[in-house]
Amino acid sequence: MARVADGPGLLAPDACRLERPVLRDPVLQEQLEQRGYVVIPLVGPDEVQTLYQGYLRGVDRADGINPPGAYDDTYAEFSVIHSRPVFRRDAYELITSVLVPRATST
């Protein structure tokens, strides 16, 4: 079991040593090792626009999203857990086409 440092559930620094690199970017890897975290901007304005346009295309299709008035703010409308299989597949393909290249480059 990892040794716990003083404080609310924090691991001691020696328990957090990495045996191998986690990130491809050496600068980010160094920050991770020094600070214990890094901030990686996963998507930018272009990716957000691509995802938004994909959502709008789904809205325009009759079988795309739930009928007007059926929206539930606790439900992920544009996601891989949508209730309509075709929209769910399309959302998965779009989301992964945008995020996978970004995630695998870090």
Alpha-carbon distances, residue 44 vs 36, 40, 90, 99 (angstroms): 24, 11, 21, 11
Q: Which residue has the higher pLDDT, 39 or 74?
A: 39
Rounded Cα distance, 50 and 41, in Å: 16
Question: Residue 84 above 60 pLDDT?
Answer: yes
Supply the pLDDT for residue 98.
92
Position 56 pLDDT exceeds 60: yes
Check residue 14 and report its DSSP letter.
G
Report whether pLDDT(106) > 90: no
Give the start-to-end residue ranges of the domains of the chain.
Answer: 45-104
